[in-house]
Each structure stands twice: as structure tokens, then as C-alpha cells.
């Protein structure tokens, strides 16, 4: 189970470096993407077991778009069940942040953690995400 594959989508290369190192030390295989588009385009080749996804990249809500694409766009149908762990410095998850707007479910990830990561908690979330696959 430790050989599970994780895809880290984040435009901050320092974040990718540390998350990769941390996850590799736990025995996971890690691949990286520096933007939402790159992340989506690598899904087919990487076939990750879970996705760790930043929100504010080049565009300020890129992570929401990626979530929507994976959960609802037909071309990513085969990845629909891949759990998404959203990691952002924004305090609230989309369902809280946009509580007033309808259809928030479309951009709601499976898990939400805030940056900077609480490492023990983050690793717990990763484990849970992979377990519920």
C-alpha cells in the first residue's frame, strides 16, 4: 500500500519540493505538476491514487477549476473517483467560503487542508484518502 502514487499540483516549487520529500520518506511515489493544466494533462500518464492540489496558482481559483474538471468533465471521467486533497492558505474550504453561492459541490474536494501544512495531520489525511479509494 505504501507504493501508492500521488500527484502534487502546485505552482510553488518550494512546496512541491518539500511535499515530495515528505511523501517519499513515507514510501509514496510522487509526481509533480506546476499548473492546473499540466496536472490535468498528466493524469492519464501518471494514473495517481490521490491528488494534492493547490488553489491559487497563476489564476486565483485554478484549483477549483481542476476539481470541477476531474469531478464533472466527461474527458476526465475515469479519474472521477481519485480523491482530491486540496491544500491552500485560504482558511476555508470551498463549501464554507462560498456557502452563499449555489452548486458549491462542483468545486468541493474530498479533503481540505490549510497551508502551511500540519505535517502529522496532512499525512493522516493522505492515508485516509488512499484508504477510502
Partner 1 sequence: MNDASERERVVVIDDDYAMRLSCRKILEKLGFEVETFDGGAPGLEAVARLNPSLVVVDLKMPGMSGMEVIPRVREINADIVIVVITGYATIDTAVDAMKSGAYDFLPKPFSPEELRLIVNRGLERRRLALRGRQAEMERELLKRRFVSFVSHQLQSPLSAVHQYLSVLQRLEGSADVAAKRREWHERCLRRIEDLQALIRDWLTLAKLEGQCLAQRRVRVDLREAVQAVLAGNAEIAAANQVSLESRLPDGECAVTGDPNCVSVLLDNLITNAIKYNRPGGRVTLAVAPSGDEIEIAVSDTGAGIPEEVRPLLFQEFFRGDPGASGTGLGLAICRKVAAEMGGSIRVESVVGEGSTFRVRLLAWREPAQREP
Laid out side by side, the sheet with 5-9 consists of 29-33, 5-9, 50-53, 84-88, 111-114
- Among residues 12, 42, 65, 76, the one that binds partner 1 under rule CB under 8 A: 12
- Residue 119 interacting with partner 1 (CB under 8 A): yes
* 115 part of the interface to partner 1, by CB under 8 A: yes
| Total interface residues for partner 1 by CB under 8 A | 18
Q: Which residues of 18-132 form beta strands (DSSP E)?
A: 29-33, 50-53, 84-88, 111-114
Q: Tell me which residues in 39-98 interact with partner 1 (CB under 8 A).
A: 56, 58, 60, 89
The rounded distance, in Å, linking the Cα atoms of 78 and 95 is 24
The residue ranges that bind partner 1 (CB under 8 A) are 12, 14-15, 17-19, 21-22, 24-25, 56, 58, 60, 89, 115-117, 119
Amino acid at each position: 500500500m505504501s507504493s501508492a502514487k500521488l500527484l502534487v499540483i502546485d505552482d510553488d516549487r518550494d512546496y512541491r519540493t518539500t511535499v515530495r520529500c515528505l511523501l517519499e520518506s513515507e514510501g509514496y511515489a510522487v509526481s509533480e505538476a506546476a499548473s492546473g493544466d499540466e496536472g490535468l494533462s498528466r493524469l492519464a500518464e501518471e494514473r495517481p491514487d490521490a491528488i494534492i492540489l493547490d488553489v491559487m496558482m497563476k489564476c486565483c481559483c485554478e484549483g477549483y477549476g481542476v476539481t470541477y474538471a476531474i469531478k464533472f468533465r466527461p474527458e476526465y471521467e475515469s479519474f472521477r473517483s481519485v480523491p482530491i486533497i486540496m491544500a491552500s492558505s485560504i482558511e476555508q474550504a470551498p463549501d464554507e467560503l462560498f456557502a452563499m453561492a449555489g452548486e458549491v459541490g462542483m468545486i468541493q474536494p474530498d479533503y481540505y487542508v490549510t497551508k502551511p501544512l500540519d505535517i502529522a495531520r496532512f499525512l493522516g489525511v493522505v492515508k485516509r484518502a488512499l484508504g477510502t479509494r
